Amino acid sequence: MPAGSTSVAPRPESAPWRADLGPAGLLRMNQPTLQRDRQGVDYGEQQNVQKLPAAIRDEQRGGLVTIKPFSLWTLVISGIVFFVAAFFLARQGADFTATNVDRGNPPPAQSTRQAVQAGTASASVVPSTVADANAPLVVHLAMKNMKFSPATIEIKKGDTVEWKNDDITPHTATSATFDSGSIASDAVWRHTFKDAGNFPYTCTFHPEMKGTVVVK
Amino acid sequence: MTKPNMNTNRGKPSMRKIIALTITTAVLAAFTTIHAQTAPAAAPPNDAQIAQIVLTADSVDVDYGNLAVKKTKNAEVKAFAETMIRDHTAVNNKAAALAKKLGMTPEASDTSKSLKSDGDKEMAKLKAMHGAEFDKAYIDNEVTYHTSVIGALNTVLLPNAKNAELKALLESGKPIFESHLEHAKTLQNSLNK
């Protein structure tokens, strides 16, 4: 049977594996060959009849590529919807890498607060309401390879900075107004900045390690 | 017509040949021996030897640090010495833990032995000193020592380390030793004023 023709003709029992049967014919090839040997009523055709309308629809569409059970139409529309959603979310300035501010080569004096808030916003597909733009945050800072990373951070009054020791040697975060004492390897230390100002600090064990917390 | 065979010495090596061979062998043997004595073959260290070199290098500096904490009257020198003890003990603990994890027994080598013997010699010198003279000698030694340890790390230990975790440990040690060197140099400058 030529490919693409409608599939109402009886199944050729003698040649169940013919490849030129078209999509509907391929459906019929799923029938077990034993049916050929069945006596009495041949239920094979009834099965074919149930499948046929869909098969006919497929054939009439010219056998377009699609992922069953979704129709091509569904896929196209959802693709456009996702694209547009991502486009507008990105325009909002969502920083998809936000909350944790320590990087290999972080930009100096980055506005971590904005980054963290944008990060929160981008986490969900549906933009959720960011509760309060001034809610206090915990900003993360790493001590890695004998450096504070990032060396300078900007936060708001009331925010907390969390120092994490990613080195194998102990470190401190010490300034005129705060002193962490010895922070062991893998341990953290937090300090909440209640006052605005510039807070330069250092590690008392390694004086060449220097950082600054800028509190606005 | 075949030429008459003029080699009357058929089969037997001639006296001349024997003498020539003997002299050549003797000269080559002598040359090899002399060469070996002046330039002993230094095979690159294996991982077990690298681990021991790290352990020895750290222990030597911890010993220097313990001596300095006891002897010095200078607060900055004392703080530096305490950092040396803290940091080198931490690196040593990591190295020992890694060796245990890898089922590796650290192996002594010429390098680790000479590190230990040089360390012992320097300790004897420092023990005999006091006050400002001690501080200066201690810090000067720390600068020299860390410079050579960093050099060994870059030229011998890191290039020859095979195990990835050992290599990572050595890499993490580099910034530590470099920061120590910087710290020591700053102190050296202030002590020389």
User: Which residue is listed with tokens 């201690």?
Assistant: B138
* B158 contact partners, CB below 8 Å, separation of at least 6: B167, B170, B171
Give the mean pLDDT of chain A. Answer: 73
> What pLDDT is stored for residue A135 in this prediction?
79
Chain B residues lying within 8 Å of A167, measured CB to CB: 172, 176
Domain ranges of chain B: 12-41, 47-191
> What pLDDT is stored for residue A34 in this prediction?
54
Residue A178 inside a domain? The answer is: yes
Please write the tens of the pLDDT for every residue from A101-155: 444 444 444 445 555 555 444 433 444 345 566 678 899 999 999 999 999 999 9
Q: Is B128 exposed, middle or buried (0-12, 13-18, 19+ CB in 10 A)?
A: exposed
- Tell me what ipTM this predicted complex has: 0.77
Residue A74 inside a domain? The answer is: no
Q: Hey, what are B184's tokens?
A: 């020591």
**Could you write out the DSSP letters of every residue in A126-146?**
S----S-TT---EEEEEEETT
How much is the pTM? 0.60
Chain B residues lying within 8 Å of A208, measured CB to CB: 179, 182-183, 186
Residue A19 inside a domain? The answer is: yes
Phi–psi pair at A215, nearest 5 degrees: -110, 120
Domain range holding A203? 110-215
Topology adopted by domain B47-191: Ferritin (1.20.1260)
Work out the average pLDDT over B73-100. 96
Residue A90 inside a domain? The answer is: no
Residue A91 inside a domain? The answer is: no
Q: Which of B58, B69, B84, B87 to mutate to test the interface with A (most CBs of A within 10 A)?
A: B87
User: Quick one: A198 and A141 in the same domain?
Assistant: yes
Q: Hey, what are A25's tokens?
A: 């014919």
> What pLDDT is stored for residue A52 in this prediction?
66
> What pLDDT is stored for residue A10 in this prediction?
57
- Tell me the three state secondary structure of residue B189: helix
- Using the predicted structure, report yes or no on whether residue A64 has a pLDDT greater than 80: no
Residue A3 inside a domain? The answer is: yes
Residue A68 inside a domain? The answer is: no
Number of domains forming the structure of chain A: 2
Per the DSSP assignment, residues forming a β-bridge with A110 are A153
CATH of the domain at A141: 2.60.40.420
Q: With the C-alpha atoms ordered A109, A111, A149, B163, is the resulting torsion angle positive or negative?
A: negative
Please write the tens of the pLDDT for every residue from A153-198: 999 999 999 999 999 999 999 999 999 999 999 999 999 999 999 9
> What pLDDT is stored for residue A86 in this prediction?
87
> What pLDDT is stored for residue A123 in this prediction?
38
Chain B residues lying within 8 Å of A206, measured CB to CB: 83, 179, 183
User: Quick one: A203 and A134 in the same domain?
Assistant: yes
Residue A87 inside a domain? The answer is: no
| CB pair distance less than 8 Å for B183 and A207 | yes
- Using the predicted structure, report yes or no on whether residue A19 has a pLDDT greater than 80: no
A168 touches chain B (CB under 8 A): yes
pLDDT level of residue A13 (50, 70, 90 thresholds): low
The alpha carbon of residue B78 is apart from the nearest alpha carbon of chain A, in Å, by 11
> What pLDDT is stored for residue A100 in this prediction?
45
